[in-house]
């Protein structure tokens, strides 16, 4: 986890250095963004596993929800603070401040005391062997298989709304970048509010019931967002959608971590993240391409209703997967 923070700090520092020297171009931003995405993909599973071994199992859902809350708070406050600073200072200084902020992460990690590390095998497991082992574990556990299947389906059918906000604001409603910011802020606010209340909701409803309700509601709410007749209604819908998106992903991630041993938590978290990122990429590309030919509302709304159908079938045919969440 510390290595991941150092890599991201180095990339942020490179971005700041390019800004100071006048070499910051779109190409460099794309390259550094790609490398940062690789770093996040590689090290976030270890971060999730660290959370899992640092808190009691019964508090895992609340811990992951709080982690999501701070991430969404950063998504809301970070760009707003950056815009304020850029208006009064050179962008290089703003990027340097972002680089230095990773120091706070490093200091926080120094104070973390998780569970003792598991003994390493005499013969290190190969990458592909480890991936195959992770899939074997998932196939053997109905609850785990349900969680990963749900993550992939959400990534393909629902998650593209986070990247296609400009399409909704500009192409559908004919508005400007301000409308895009409104939709993105509403989505982040909904996710933040849900993250703060997830622990209380789980205590009152039960984790399995909360996950089930969230999965059943997110499809219709996503459809309502894409079919909204006005920007105001779309803003309200995406606020609810952001909340449900956070609740479903946190619930499914908790299920993945809670059902495996500490030895496999990072591996399963990595597989779950892979399904999310790959599914998201496929969903954005495929829905965007189809929307160019068939229209935004029919394609995106159809994908949302498709996810609802998937969830109903999953609930009907594999109901034990939901019940297994409580064990």
Domain containing 318: what range?
2-113+128-326
Asked whether residue 120 is assigned to any structural domain, the reply reads no
CATH number of the domain residue 197 falls in? 1.20.1250.20
Cβ(143)–Cβ(321) under 8 Å? yes
Spell out the residues 6+ positions from residue 285 whose beta carbon is closer than 8 angstroms to its own. Answer: none
Q: Is the residue at 123 inside a domain?
A: no
Query: Do the domain assignments include residue 118?
Result: no
> How far, in Å, CA of 198 to CA of 184, rounded?
21
Locate tokens 């309700």: which residue?
Answer: 213
| Contacts of residue 157, Cβ cutoff 8 Å, sequence gap at least 6 | 219, 222, 283, 303, 304, 306, 307, 310
- Residue whose tokens read 């954005």: 284
What's the rounded Cα separation, in Å, for the pair 150 and 52?
A: 21
Q: Which helix (H) or strand (E) holds 61?
A: helix 60-86
* The predicted structure's pLDDT at residue 319: 56
Residues 94-115 as b or e (16 or more Cβ within 10 Å = b): bbbebbeebeeeeeeeeeeeee
Q: Which helix (H) or strand (E) holds 318?
A: none
Please tell me the total number of residues recorded for the chain in this structure.
327
Who's near 245: CB < 8 A, 6+ residues apart? 154, 158, 159, 161, 162, 187, 190, 191, 218
> Cα(226)–Cα(300) distance, rounded to whole angstroms?
6
Would you say 222 and 164 are in contact if contact means Cβ atoms under 8 Å apart? no
pLDDT at position 221: 97
pLDDT at 324: 53
Predicted local distance difference test score (pLDDT) of residue 173: 92
pLDDT mean by block of 10 residues, the chain; 327 residues? 82 92 89 85 71 73 75 71 82 90 81 56 60 76 83 94 90 87 88 85 85 93 96 96 92 81 74 85 92 93 94 73 52
Total domains, the chain: 1
For the chain, the straight-line distance linking the first and the last C-alpha, in angstroms and rounded, comes to 29
Write down the pLDDT at residue 82. Answer: 79
Report CA-CA distances (Å) from 87 to 17, 22, 84, 90.
19, 18, 5, 8
Residue 27 lies in a domain: yes
* Mutual angle of helices 177-205 and 231-258, in 10-degree steps: 40
Of 313, 275, 286, give the one whose Cα is nearest residue 151: 275
DSSP 8-state class, residue 120: P
Using an 8 Å Cβ cutoff, are 304 and 157 in contact? yes
Query: For tokens 């926080």, what's the residue?
Result: 108
Quick check: is 122 in a domain? no
**Region for 291 from its dihedrals, namely left if φ exceeds 0, alpha if ψ lies in -120 to 50, beta otherwise:** alpha
Closest-CA residue to 82 (of 67, 96, 70): 96
What lies within 8 Å, CB to CB, of 151 at 6+ separation is 249, 252, 253, 272, 275, 276, 279
In a domain, 219, yes or no: yes
- Asked if residue 121 belongs to a domain, the reply is no
Report the alpha-carbon angle 42-253-141, nearest 5: 105
């Amino acid at each position: 986890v510390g290595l991941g923070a150092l890599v991201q700090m180095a990339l942020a520092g490179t971005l700041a250095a390019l800004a100071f020297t006048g070499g910051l171009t779109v190409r460099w931003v794309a390259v550094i963004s790609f490398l940062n995405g690789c770093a996040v993909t590689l090290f976030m599973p270890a971060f999730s596993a660290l959370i899992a071994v640092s808190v009691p199992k019964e508090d895992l859902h609340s811990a992951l929800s709080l982690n999501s809350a701070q991430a969404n708070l950063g998504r809301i406050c970070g760009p707003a603070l950056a815009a304020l600073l850029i208006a009064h200072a050179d962008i290089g200084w703003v990027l340097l401040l972002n680089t230095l902020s990773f120091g706070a992460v490093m200091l926080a990690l120094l104070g973390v005391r998780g569970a003792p590390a598991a003994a390493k095998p005499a013969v290190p497991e190969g990458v592909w062997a480890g991936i195959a082992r992770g899939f074997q574990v998932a196939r053997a556990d109905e609850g785990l298989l349900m969680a990963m299947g749900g993550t992939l389906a959400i990534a393909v059918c629902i998650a593209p709304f986070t990247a296609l906000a400009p399409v909704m604001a500009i192409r559908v409603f004919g508005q400007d970048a301000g409308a895009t910011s409104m939709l993105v802020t509403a989505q982040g606010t909904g996710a933040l509010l849900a993250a703060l209340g997830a622990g209380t909701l789980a205590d009152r409803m039960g984790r399995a019931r909360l996950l089930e309700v969230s999965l059943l509601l997110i499809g219709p709410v996503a459809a309502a967002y894409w079919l909204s007749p006005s920007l105001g209604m779309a803003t309200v819908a995406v606020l609810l959608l952001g909340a449900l998106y956070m609740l479903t992903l946190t619930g499914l991630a908790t299920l993945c971590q809670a059902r495996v041993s500490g030895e496999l938590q990072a591996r399963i978290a990595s597989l779950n993240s892979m399904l999310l990122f790959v599914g998201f990429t496929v969903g954005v590309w495929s829905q965007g391409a189809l929307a160019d030919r068939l229209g935004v509302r029919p394609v995106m709304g159809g994908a949302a209703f498709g996810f609802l159908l998937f969830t109903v079938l999953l609930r009907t045919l594999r109901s034990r997967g939901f019940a297994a969440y409580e064990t």
